[in-house]
């Protein structure tokens, strides 16, 4: 039977039907293949690759070329999921022409299905231009990690009225500009509920409570690959750091004691 691929209209129908949307990040072929086969709706090639793959403190250093490389790897593992790629810092903020050029590179060189960018009113022109070129755009509001130097920390956003009101305006503006969906990061659950109900496009939350139309987590966080990073909004489904470290220690001991390889593991 042919695989039914997820598209922007599938995601729209899921919101209408009240079916929650599942999204995880992926940065390489092997994990994309596993998550796709497990049935994930959306795979995000997030610029969190800068943190979890490259070891940087922020998402700012990752380049467009590096994002394209990760997206190319992910696309090779995908049959069904809808793949969204982050426009990295510096690849869209200057003006809408540069934003469109960066988006076209991602679509042409990776075969991904959509791009994501951070911001509200200030990126509305770019969203319009990218969407009119036929490229689906996912927005990202609330805590926008590319602006970490403006915020100064990764604390919950929009707790104060002024910022909450701006977010309510911004989500309408980016919906109007053509976004097919939006990530809401680290905002109060009740604000996420209000804005989710105020728009027709699906909202995908991370640290934004249960009223969003879907949820996203960074794969390393939900798999417990970095046991030191455990903010309250993460549910850790595995403790892979412990498992991987245990396997590595056992392998090292086996090599040192000449227990590996055995005769059966030799030619
Ligand atoms: O880059 C990323 O992983 C993201 C998620 C936090 C939504 O943007």
Predicted confidence (pLDDT) per residue in 60-98, tens digit: 999 999 999 999 999 999 999 999 999 999 999 999 999
* Most distant pair of Cα atoms in the chain: their distance: 70
Average pLDDT over residues 229-233: 93
- Closest C-alpha to ligand 1, atom 5: 46
19: CB partners within 8 A, 6+ apart? 13
pLDDT value at residue 201: 98
The stretch 165-176 carries a mean pLDDT of: 98
What is d(CA 140, CA 204) in angstroms, rounded to the nearest whole number?
9
Q: Is the CB of 215 under 6 A from ligand 1?
A: no
Closest of 165, 112, 108 to residue 137, by C-alpha: 112
Contact in structure between 69 and 105 (CB atoms under 8 Å): no
Under the banding of pLDDT at 50, 70 and 90, the label for residue 3 is: confident
Q: What is the pTM of this model?
A: 0.97
**What average pLDDT does range 24-50 have in this prediction?**
98
Residue 29 and residue 77 in contact, taking contact as beta carbons nearer than 8 Å: yes
Q: Which residue CA neighbors atom 4 of ligand 1 most closely?
A: 46
- The whole-angstrom separation of Cα 142 and Cα 164 is 9
Helices 64-75, 29-38: inter-axial angle, 10-degree rounding = 50
Q: What is the pLDDT of residue 20?
A: 98
**Atom of ligand 1 at shortest distance to CA of 48?**
1
User: How would residue 141 be classed by pLDDT, with cut points 50, 70 and 90?
Assistant: very high
In short, whether 48's Cβ falls inside 6 Å of ligand 1 is: yes
- Beta strand pairing status for 114-116 and 82-86? parallel
CB contact set of 178 (below 8 Å; sequence gap of 6+): 127, 128, 131, 132, 137
Position 220 scores a pLDDT of: 98
Could you list the active site residues?
A: 185
Rounded to the nearest angstrom, the distance between the alpha carbon of 255 and the centre of ligand 1 is 39
Q: What is the CATH number of domain 8-239?
A: 3.20.20.60
Say if residue 228's pLDDT is above 90.
no
- Burial label, 249 (beta-carbon count in 10 A; 0-12, 13-18, 19+): exposed
Q: Are strands 21-25 and 203-206 parallel, antiparallel or unpaired?
A: unpaired
- What is the helix (H) or strand (E) element at residue 214, kind and residue range? strand 214-217
Helix (H, G, I), strand (E, B) or coil at 112: coil
> Is 183 close to ligand 1, i.e. is its CB under 6 Å away?
yes
pLDDT of 2 strictly over 80: no
Mean pLDDT, to the nearest integer, of 236-244? Answer: 97
Q: What is the overall mean pLDDT for the chain?
A: 97
Return the pLDDT at 197. 98
């Amino acid at each position: 039977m042919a695989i039914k691929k997820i598209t922007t209209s599938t995601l729209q129908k899921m919101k209408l039907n009240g079916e929650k949307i599942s999204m995880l990040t992926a940065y390489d072929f092997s994990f994309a293949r596993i998550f796709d086969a497990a049935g994930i709706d959306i795979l995000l090639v997030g610029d969190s690759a800068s943190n979890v793959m490259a070891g940087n403190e922020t998402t700012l250093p990752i380049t467009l070329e590096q994002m394209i490389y990760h997206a190319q790897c992910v696309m090779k593992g995908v049959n069904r999921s809808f793949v969204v790629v982050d426009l990295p810092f510096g690849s869209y903020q200057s003006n809408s022409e540069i934003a469109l050029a960066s988006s076209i590179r991602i679509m042409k060189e990776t075969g991904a299905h959509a791009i994501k960018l951070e911001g509200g009113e200030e990126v509305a022109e770019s969203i319009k231009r990218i969407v009119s070129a036929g490229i689906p755009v996912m927005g990202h509001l609330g805590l926008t990690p590319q602006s970490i130097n403006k915020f100064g920390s990764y604390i919950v956003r929009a707790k104060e009225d002024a910022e909450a009101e701006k977010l309510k305006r911004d989500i309408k503006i980016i919906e109007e500009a053509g976004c097919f969906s939006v990530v809401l990061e680290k905002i109060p659950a009740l604000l996420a509920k209000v804005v989710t109900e105020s728009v027709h496009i699906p909202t995908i939350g991370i640290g934004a409570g249960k009223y969003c139309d879907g949820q996203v987590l960074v794969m390393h966080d939900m798999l417990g690959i970095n046991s030191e990073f455990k903010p309250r909004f993460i549910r850790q489904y595995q403790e892979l750091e412990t498992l991987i470290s245990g396997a590595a220690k056992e392998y090292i001991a086996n090599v040192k004691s000449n227990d590996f390889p055995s005769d059966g593991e030799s030619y």
